[in-house]
Structure 1
Amino acid sequence: MMGWCEVGMMKVLVLSLVAGAVAAVRPSKLLPAAVPAVYVFGDSTLDVGNNNYLPGKDVPRADKPYYGIDLPGSGKPTGRFSNGYNTADFVAQALGFKKSPLAYLELKARKMLIPSAVTRGVSYASAGAGILDSTNAGNNIPLSQQVRLFESTKAEMEAAVGQRAVRKLLSASFFLVSAGSNDFFAFATAMAEQNRTATQADVTAFYGSLLSNYSATITELYKLGARKVGIVNVGPVGCVPRVRVLNATGACADGLNQLAGGFDGALRSAVAALAADQLPGLAYSVADSFGFTQASLADPLGLGFASADSACCGSGRLGAQGDCTPAATLCADRDRYVFWDSVHPSQRAAMLGAQAYYDGPAQYTSPVSFKQLARMRIG
């Protein structure tokens, strides 16, 4: 965890993002794309509709109002867990695209997979997915399966345009990965159900499983042709409204945040070791969602937010005692809320985060920014 002096310094840097964030991340006229395509892997912070196509009553879906109420051009739910665009959309916009590539399952249903895969990219992200296959098992596309779907997509791409063209395309494309929050929620829930506090042995084993699976994901993507990988680490999951509401004072769960912060440090080291020792030619950027979000929550008013602890769409205390549905209470000004629902950031919060990762203060990305990563010449 960061000390308050460090957070204070970060606040100053975060404030500098506000004035130019909209222009930088949502340009009025798209610039030439910095990469030929974007391939997206992860959870609900990036999902643009895959879960709408999954069967089962327990599958998390954002397919009803008020989801999508501020989505440019439609104002309708599309599967994004946001009032509008999400992080994947804003990263894709910064890279020169109109928005995130479409969801894999939507492209398959519309028989558009290969046209999109070779000209724009594909999103495999799935709400509820974890780094571990066991996280919310049966109700999402886990990270490992997302990679397998990309593998099958690649085979179809090669059949359509040839191996050489696909190899060149993938080596220059941007691979965006964000997962882990659901694993931490599941771990905390399991401890609570057992009515015990996690031991150091529990944490060590948990971290070991997460890092092993994450490393396998990066390695497999590399073997399949990825050379530019942008990773968004796990944010301060103890500060989402759904967790805050469990505390009588509405405070963040510091223990859960410390658990996430410890993993983020280990992840950064693990990816650096992979790039240095095992995956020659891999270029990467780790975005610090944890640090950026902490700084934002430390001074929400400075960023134009009126609420940093409550859901805009929900019900009950902190808007976190009910889901975002057509019957939920909806805040009047969505841009003034850090959180859209009890877990996910609002469109504006996602926009500010994406700008920080793409071309913001250097401390929010390591070893390079997403912009620098996209512009690297590989091979």
Structure 2
Amino acid sequence: MKDLVLVLLGLVFVGAVGASAVGRPVVPAMFVLGDSTLDVGNNNHLPGKDVPRANEPFYGIDFPGGAKATGRFSNGYNIADFIARHLGFERSPLAYLVLKSRNYLIPSALTRGVSYASAGSGILDSTNAGKNIPLSKQVQYFASTKAEMEVAWGSRKVSKLIASSFFLLGTGSNDLFQTRPKSQADVAALYATLVSNYSAAIIDLYGMGARKFGIINTGPVGCVPRVRLLNATGACNDGMNRLAAGLATAFKSGLATALAPTRLPGLKYSLVDSFAGSQANFDNPQAAGFLNADRACCGSGRLGAEGKCTRNATLCSHRDAYAFFDNVHPSQRAAELSAQALFVDGPTQITTPISFKELAHQR
């Protein structure tokens, strides 16, 4: 299956604080690496007819400032946008390939940051190979960006900026749908490879000066509409959810070891337990403000999940009442609630060892 990704954070803890007003940013820039939940247009600039893109209606129908498809797999903003707003920016930094096409990469990198996220990508280069920018190449693009920044601004200033910037990462779910482990040994080997490669990418970024990492863990991908469609009753796929839950646990323990202060002095991170935060709420979506948590707002057929979201699809009229906009991705409202939960300090906190808010204010 193509591009089945982490999409379930929108069902977490509606007691979160309201969205932060845009103001003076608390970090100098934000750099984003990950999959379609964070992509803001990179895939629109990739060649190939099989590249997943959100470049036509009804994507962007509620995008602020005028309905338009922007490359976001959402009816409006995605979670990267709302996290950026909590940090004081207007929205997510622009996509790397968009900035390159406009010859505006360095001005943006020095004042807002850059998004390298790509729909369909994973931790492994083999995940949907040739149809996205894999994590390893996203890291390479950041290295190239840093080199250009240093030419324009000097290495000392750039080092200070990068050390204070917020690095948002969200990937791993697509990798699960490219593999079919046949035994527990296969599962263990898969987890070990993903944790190792993910840790290596973060350590590479650390080596280039990054110090603040907000990491979104894998959620219950067995509950997205496209997966529910495979079940006659429309229920979640327990096998996929067990695989995702195991990976979330592996990331939590593996990253804690790999990113320990004794190994990487000065590194701070916040890891989102999106699986635990999402799963319990499927039994009571109304508590999260949704009238529908198992059907796509934009699509066709059963659960709205049999067809893609296009200008010819069926579109729901009350989009904020749906947890999912298309058959795998959250609605704008779900993304907004997700971002709120990540910045909460208190009993509803789903981040460890600190919240995104605390991470952003680290010195």
Q: Do the two structures share a fold, i.e. TM-score over 0.5?
A: yes
Rounded Cα–Cα distance in structure 1 between residues aligned with 2:266 and 2:257: 13
1:181 equivalent in alignment to 2:173? yes
Name the counterpart of 1:161. 153
Rounded Cα–Cα distance in structure 1 between residues aligned with 2:122 and 2:142: 17
Name the counterpart of 1:228. 212
Structure 1 residue 362, shift from structure 2 partner: 5.0
* Structure with greater contact order relative to length (CA < 8 Å, sep ≥ 6): 2
SS of 1:359's equivalent?
A: coil
Rounded Cα–Cα distance in structure 2 between residues aligned with 1:69 and 1:363: 31
Rounded Cα–Cα distance in structure 2 between residues aligned with 1:298 and 1:181: 22
Rounded Cα–Cα distance in structure 1 between residues aligned with 2:322 and 2:182: 33
Rounded Cα–Cα distance in structure 2 between residues aligned with 1:286 and 1:52: 29
Rounded Cα–Cα distance in structure 2 between residues aligned with 1:347 and 1:290: 19
Structure 1 residue 274, shift from structure 2 partner: 2.1
Answer whether contact 2:271 2:352 (CA < 8 A) is retained. Answer: yes
The two structures have a TM-score, normalised by structure 1, of 0.90
Rounded Cα–Cα distance in structure 2 between residues aligned with 1:292 and 1:331: 26
Alignment of 1:1-379 (within 5 A): 14-17=13-16, 20-21=17-18, 24-25=19-20, 27=21, 30-187=22-179, 191=180, 198-276=182-260, 277-359=262-344, 361-377=347-363
Answer whether contact 2:106 2:149 (CA < 8 A) is retained. Answer: yes
Matched pairs, number: 351
Answer whether contact 1:34 1:96 (CA < 8 A) is retained. Answer: yes
Answer whether contact 2:259 2:267 (CA < 8 A) is retained. Answer: yes
Rounded Cα–Cα distance in structure 2 between residues aligned with 1:293 and 1:272: 22
Structure 1 residue 363, shift from structure 2 partner: 3.7
- Identity among equivalent positions (%) equals 63
Query: Which 5+ residue runs of structure 1 have no aligned equivalent?
Result: 1-10, 192-196
Rounded Cα–Cα distance in structure 2 between residues aligned with 1:295 and 1:80: 27
Aligned partner letter, 1:299? N
Rounded Cα–Cα distance in structure 2 between residues aligned with 1:64 and 1:287: 31
SS of 1:286's equivalent?
A: strand
Rounded Cα–Cα distance in structure 1 between residues aligned with 2:82 and 2:281: 18
Rounded Cα–Cα distance in structure 2 between residues aligned with 1:350 and 1:288: 15
Answer whether contact 2:14 2:288 (CA < 8 A) is retained. Answer: yes
Structure 1 residue 198, shift from structure 2 partner: 2.4
Query: Which 5+ residue runs of structure 2 have no aligned equivalent?
Result: 1-10
Answer whether contact 1:275 1:281 (CA < 8 A) is retained. Answer: no
CA RMSD in angstroms comes to 1.3
Answer whether contact 2:59 2:69 (CA < 8 A) is retained. Answer: yes
The two structures have a TM-score, normalised by structure 2, of 0.94
Rounded Cα–Cα distance in structure 2 between residues aligned with 1:341 and 1:221: 32
Deviations 1:304-344 (A, max 9, x none): 21100000000000011000011111011000000010100
Aligned partner letter, 1:350? A
Answer whether contact 1:362 1:368 (CA < 8 A) is retained. Answer: no
Aligned partner letter, 1:278? R
Rounded Cα–Cα distance in structure 2 between residues aligned with 1:307 and 1:174: 33
More helix per residue:
1
Rounded Cα–Cα distance in structure 2 between residues aligned with 1:42 and 1:69: 23
SS of 2:15's equivalent?
A: helix
SS of 1:343's equivalent?
A: coil
